[in-house]
């Protein structure tokens, strides 16, 4: 079970998924595993020693939520909606509204008061 406030996941939004695969597998020795995304497209798991260490998706269409390729870290929270309610109160902004991903969990992407992006996630049971 993920601990509230701990870093839980990292993923890269890439505008060249094949190029990113070549770079990170060559640089770090990671391997990849393809997974279908809900609504279409493919999600890539990064594996180190056969264990998932992060993910990647191709930025396009509905997945083009950023203006440039970037890594996004996910922080585990006990309740996405309750945590999201505090964001604007503390000077942040909502970048991507909260949504559920089947078998993954509920997440949102926010900007802190300085403009840095971070994701908040309540992992699905068993994650």
Q: Which of 105, 78, 112, 115 is nearest to 9 (CA)?
A: 105
Task: Indicate the SS3 state at residue 127.
Answer: coil
When the pLDDT of each residue in the chain is averaged and rounded to a whole number, the result is 91
- Whole-number percent of the chain with pLDDT over 90: 77
Task: Give me the pLDDT at residue 127, please.
Answer: 56
Task: Give me the pLDDT at residue 126, please.
Answer: 59
E runs forming strands in the chain:
7-14, 31-36, 42-48, 51-58, 70-76, 93-101, 105-111, 117-123
Neighbours of 91 (CB within 10 A): 10
Task: Give me the pLDDT at residue 64, please.
Answer: 63
pLDDT at 81 over 90: yes
Q: Which of 76, 73, 65 is nearest to 12 (CA)?
A: 73
Domain ranges of the chain: 7-123
Correct CATH for 7-123 of 3.30.200.20, 3.30.980.20, 3.10.180.10, 3.40.50.300: 3.10.180.10
Task: Give me the pLDDT at residue 2, please.
Answer: 84
Return the higher-pLDDT residue of 58 and 120.
120
Query: What DSSP state is assigned to residue 90?
Result: T
- CA distance readout (Å), 91 to 65, 85, 115: 21, 11, 10
pLDDT, one tens digit per residue, over 30-75 is: 999 999 887 778 899 999 999 999 999 988 765 566 778 999 999 9
């Amino acid at each position: 079970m993920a601990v509230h406030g701990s870093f839980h996941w990292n993923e890269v939004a890439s505008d060249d998924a094949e190029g990113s695969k070549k770079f990170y597998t060559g640089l770090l020795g990671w391997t990849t595993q393809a997974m279908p995304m809900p609504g279409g497209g493919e999600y890539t798991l990064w594996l180190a020693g056969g264990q998932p260490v992060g993910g990647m998706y191709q930025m396009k269409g509905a997945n083009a939520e950023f203006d440039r390729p970037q890594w996004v870290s996910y922080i585990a929270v006990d309740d996405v909606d309750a945590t999201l309610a505090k964001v604007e109160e503390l000077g942040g902004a909502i970048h991507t509204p909260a949504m559920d991903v089947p078998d993954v969990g509920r997440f949102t992407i926010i900007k802190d008061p300085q403009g840095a992006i971070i994701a908040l996630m309540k992992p699905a049971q068993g994650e």
